[in-house]
Structure 1
Amino acid sequence: MELVWLEDFIALAENGSFVRAADARHVTQPAFSRRIRSFESWIGVELFTRTPQGANLTEAGKHILPSVLDEVSRIYRIRSEAQELAGKAAKVLQFAATHSLSFTFFPRWIRAAERGAPIEAIRLHSDSMASCEQMLVHGQVQFLLCHRHPEVPPQLPHDQYISKKVGDDILVPLASPALALESEETSMPYLAYTEESGLGRIVRHRLQGKDEYLQLKPHFSSHLAAVLTSMALEGKGIAWLPKSLTEQEVLDGRLIRALDERWDIPLDINLTRPTAPINTSAETFWSSLNV
């Protein structure tokens, strides 16, 4: 049995698609499928049902998923502890943050956090929400910084990870002034987030069943809020964009509100870590945070 099989199993369980899971694991789909088959052969039962729509966990797969998540975290924690004791690991705080927060919120927040407890070294990994979650699960980082909404449950098991709220943000439906004028009597082209986006999960939850009412016509999608911002600035459609990312564009009048405030989506900015112990430097940093 190989660690990579456990990581593949988690990726497929979270993505529900061999294509998306293989992409998240940076491997070809045939190679990824072979590794899943190898893990199922080692376990002795099928862990997924394959359908044209994707892959769903069997009852056996659902049963072992929490244990696999815990085992992968434990293995990486053992490695980290061994390296720390051997003096091979520097006192580096490892963060995974979604792209929009990496560009805007993180630099200001970490400077303020350092005033409470000086930090020796920091490494920031910026990626999609799905990839950031994988980095935390696999022990590659100690902390995940991301947007949250109370009505959208996190993908990570609540008994294995804990969070602190460290900031606020808001998603605002924005468009260029020219598009807003042109679209008063017609449907509005919609710039959406893709499946791997954490903001996408939140927006989809808010708009569920309301697309037709708002006359939104899907036009373009990306997991990057910055890309959707650029498309909105070019007049390509309406997008729900973080206020923290678009304050200057709104101030300059290059983006304006496309819908009234009822359609704003308030957000928390959370820092998440495993409930299991992390290294001494990370524990000290976590304890220093004001909540």
Structure 2
Amino acid sequence: MELVWLEDFNVLAQSGNFSRAAELRHVTQPAFSRRIRALETWVGVDLFERTTQGATLTDAGRHMLDNAQEMTRRLYQMRQEAREVAGKQARTLHFAATHSLSFTFFPGWVRAAERSGPLEAIRLLSDNMSVCEHMLLGGEVQFLLCHQHPDVPPRFAADQFQSKVVGSDLLVPLRARDSEPAAPGIAPPHLAYTAESGLGRIIAARLRKEDRPPTLNTVFSSHLAAVLLSMAQEGKGFAWLPRTLSEAEVVNGKLVRALDEHWDIPVEIRLFRPNTALSDFAEDFWAKL
């Protein structure tokens, strides 16, 4: 049995799609499918039900998932700690953070955290929410920094992780000041987040709660809030943008409201970590937050 098989299993269980999982694992789909089949052969049972819509876990696969995720995290943590004990790696804190928070919130937040004691080294990996969740699940990072909403839990087992609120944000529907507002009865052009985006999940959940959600004419989509910000500034449509990212453009008048305050979405900024023990300096950092 190979560790990469367990990593493949975890990613496919999360994504539910062979093509997407292969992309996340940076291999071709045929090679990825062969590795999943090799794992199933080693276990002796089918772990996924394959359909035209994707892949879903069998009962055996669901039973195996928590242990597979925990085992993968522990193996990477063991390697990391062995390197630190041998002096071959600096005492580094490993973070995954979604793109918008990496550019706006993270630098100032880390500077504030250092007031309680200097941090020797930091490694930040920035990507969309789906990839960040995968990095935390796989043990590649100790911490995940992301936007969070009570109605949209992360895609990992809640009982295996804990979190702290470290900030707040607000998603505001914004458009360019010079763009024409939509005429009555006409759906305004909407700049949307893709399914890999955590912000997209939050907005979709908010709209599902509305008895009369706005009619949206989606003309463009991206998992990057910064790209949607740029498109909105160019007058291509409106987007729900984090205040931490768009505040300067609102203050200078380049962006204005596309919808009234009823459609604002308050969100938390949370830091997640596994329940299993981290290295001493990572635990010390967590305790001081």
State the 1:81 CA deviation.
Answer: 2.0
| Partner Cα separation in structure 2 for residue 212 and residue 11 of structure 1 | 36
Q: Which residue of 2 aligns with 1:196?
A: 196
Q: Which residue of 1 aligns with 2:250?
A: 250
SS in 2 for 1:220: strand
CA separation of 1:180/1:51 partners in 2, compared to 1, >3 Å: closer, same or farther?
farther
Q: Which residue of 2 aligns with 1:145?
A: 145
Count of matched residue positions in the alignment of Structure 1 and Structure 2? 289
Q: Structure 2 counterpart of 1:142, which letter?
A: Q
Q: Which residue of 2 aligns with 1:84?
A: 84
State the 1:43 CA deviation.
Answer: 1.1
Q: Which residue of 2 aligns with 1:42?
A: 42
State the 1:185 CA deviation.
Answer: 4.4
Q: Which residue of 2 aligns with 1:205?
A: 205
Q: Which residue of 2 aligns with 1:131?
A: 131
List alignment gaps of at least 5 residues for structure 1.
none
State the 1:60 CA deviation.
Answer: 1.1
Q: Structure 1 counterpart of 2:72, which letter?
A: V
TM-score (norm 2): 0.96
* Structure 1, 10-19 or 179-188: larger mean CA deviation: 179-188
Q: Which residue of 1 aligns with 2:30?
A: 30
Q: Structure 2 counterpart of 1:66, which letter?
A: D
| Partner Cα separation in structure 2 for residue 150 and residue 175 of structure 1 | 27
Q: Which residue of 2 aligns with 1:63?
A: 63
| Partner Cα separation in structure 2 for residue 173 and residue 231 of structure 1 | 13
Q: Which residue of 2 aligns with 1:12?
A: 12
Q: Which residue of 2 aligns with 1:268?
A: 268
1:40-92 CA-partner distances (Å, limit 9, x unpaired)? 11111111111111111111111111111111111112112211222222111
State the 1:208 CA deviation.
Answer: 2.2
SS in 2 for 1:214: coil
| Partner Cα separation in structure 2 for residue 155 and residue 235 of structure 1 | 34
Q: Which residue of 1 aligns with 2:221?
A: 221
| Partner Cα separation in structure 2 for residue 183 and residue 32 of structure 1 | 49
Identity %: 60
Question: Residues 180 and 258 of structure 1 are in contact (CA less than 8 Å); yes or no, is this contact kept in structure 2?
Answer: no
TM-score (norm 1): 0.95
| Partner Cα separation in structure 2 for residue 7 and residue 61 of structure 1 | 14
1:235-277 CA-partner distances (Å, limit 9, x unpaired)? 1112111000000111121111111111111010011111111
Question: Residues 181 and 188 of structure 2 are in contact (CA less than 8 Å); yes or no, is this contact kept in structure 1?
Answer: no
Runs (4+) off by over 3 Å: 182-185, 209-213
1:125-179 CA-partner distances (Å, limit 9, x unpaired)? 1111111111112222111111000111111211211101000001011111343
Q: Which residue of 2 aligns with 1:72?
A: 72
| Partner Cα separation in structure 2 for residue 173 and residue 34 of structure 1 | 44
| Partner Cα separation in structure 1 for residue 24 and residue 252 of structure 2 | 37
Question: Residues 231 and 237 of structure 2 are in contact (CA less than 8 Å); yes or no, is this contact kept in structure 1?
Answer: yes
Q: Which residue of 2 aligns with 1:239?
A: 239
| Partner Cα separation in structure 1 for residue 22 and residue 249 of structure 2 | 37
| Partner Cα separation in structure 2 for residue 149 and residue 184 of structure 1 | 31
State the 1:209 CA deviation.
Answer: 7.0
List alignment gaps of at least 5 residues for structure 2.
none
Matched, 1:111 2:114: no
State the 1:193 CA deviation.
Answer: 0.9
SS in 2 for 1:181: coil
